[in-house]
Amino acid sequence: MELSLYDKLKTLVTEKQNPESHGIDDMPIEQVLHVINSQDKTVPVAVEKEIPYIAKAVEIVVNAIKNGGRLIYIGAGTSGRLGVLDASEIPPTFGADPELVQGIIAGGYAALTRAQEGAEDKKEVGGKDLMKLNFTNKDVACGLTASRITPYVVGAIEKAKEVGAKTIYITCTDREQLELDVDVAICPVVGPEVVMGSTRMKSGTAEKLVLNMLTTTAMIRLGKVYNNMMVDLLMTSKKLEERSKRTVVMVTGVDYDTAAGVLKEADGHVKTAIVMILKNVDPDEAQRRLKKADGFVKGALK
């Protein structure tokens, strides 16, 4: 017999009372802040324990992208917003196609600024929203749900499995409690929240840390970083334009004006400019070298 939602909630660590914050409503402001801060310090430790699983997820994402696939996040509430946020930051940070990493959230984009609480209960809509993106078995579906049981997310992951795609699931509950069949489960168990059930706090922080690790490492493995610098960024703002010039100056040792001139020749592409300067070649040759090296600057320089 399947448990009712009420009974399921009782089994979730994210829905339990935290003994460390008991009586927080009577505490002075600074004491409240110390309690929150001390609980937040436990989050990176929980994430660290999941690194072997995050590594497997990175391998899945990199392999999918190399073979023409995409990474699609699916979430509701805070988890959904975090997925959309991470996806939106990939193009300006790494110069990636906006289609490469996408996020869908229960209730649509209106839910980014105003909660659409009932939307997360519609399991069948999760699968439909995923398929609206022309999702195929080349893609990767990554479910985000602190509680693990959000119907919208579960429905999307089940649909992804149905079409034969790889699936990742990020949740802040015990791995042993996960009933969903996925390729990789990432389960940073952060324990009860400071305010019971407010998963925008420790759980949300854990999910954000995992997403940072997942996509940043994937982009590194796809050749979008040189040493520890972004070199595939797009010059879409004054700040990014100046950052591009500074990166070229730092890597090659040329002066500011030379960096600006070569970047102009390279159509603003930092990687191309770096190879042009260090190998004394034209833009076409620099891009040929980069293509041969799968986009890695170090490979293009050899």
Cβ atoms of residues 231 and 297 within 8 Å: yes
Encoding tokens for residue 75?
Answer: 């979430």
The pTM assigned to this predicted structure is: 0.92
Over 80: is that where the pLDDT of 130 sits?
Answer: yes
How confident is the model at residue 113, as a pLDDT?
A: 87
Q: Which of the four CATH numbers 3.40.50.2300, 3.40.50.10490, 3.30.413.10, 3.40.50.300 does domain 8-221 have?
A: 3.40.50.10490
What is the assigned CATH class of domain 226-301?
mainly alpha
Q: Are 22 and 195 in contact (CB under 8 A)?
A: no
pLDDT of residue 98: 94
Q: Where are the domains of the chain?
A: 8-221, 226-301
Angle at 224 between CA 223 and CA 229, to 5 degrees: 120
Residue 108: CA count within 13 A, CB half-sphere: 3
Residue 259: φ, ψ to 5°: -60, -45
Of all residues in the chain, the percent with pLDDT exceeding 70 is 97
Cα 214 to its chain centre, rounded Å, is 6
Dihedral angle sign, alpha carbons of residues 244, 247, 253, 256: positive
pLDDT of 117 strictly over 80: no
Active site includes 89?
yes
The catalytically annotated residue of 15, 59, 89, 285 is 89
Q: Quick check: 1 pLDDT over 70?
A: no
Instruction: Please give the Cα distance from 116 to 152 (Å, whole number).
Output: 12
Of 22-31, 101-110, 231-240, which gets the smallest average pLDDT? 231-240
Q: b/e for 12-27, b at 16 or more Cβ within 10 A?
A: bbbbeebeebeeeeee
User: CA torsion sign, 232 to 236 to 240 to 246?
Assistant: positive
Give one DSSP letter per residue of 83-150, joined into a string.
HHHHHHHHHHHH---TTTEEEEETT-GGGGTS--GGGGG-HHHHHHHHHTTT--TTSEEEEE-TTS--
Fold matches, 8-221 and 226-301: no
Model confidence band, residue 119 (pLDDT cutoffs 50, 70, 90): confident
The residues with which 44 forms a beta bridge, in sequence order, are none
Contact (CB, 8 A) for 165 and 135: yes
pLDDT at residue number 2: 66
pLDDT of residue 158: 97
Q: Taking 80 as the threshold, does the pLDDT of residue 9 lie above it?
A: no
pLDDT at residue 116, rounded to an integer:
80
- Residue 118 pLDDT level (bands cut at 50, 70, 90): confident
pLDDT tens by residue, 178-224? 888 999 999 999 999 999 989 999 999 999 999 999 999 999 999 99
pLDDT tens-digit profile of 140-177?
999 999 988 899 999 999 999 999 999 999 999 999 88
Choosing from 2, 15, 20, 120, which is the catalytic residue?
A: 120
User: Given the structure tokens 């339990």, which residue do they identify?
Assistant: 16
pLDDT tens column, 53-104: 999 999 999 999 999 999 999 999 999 999 999 999 999 899 899 999 999 9
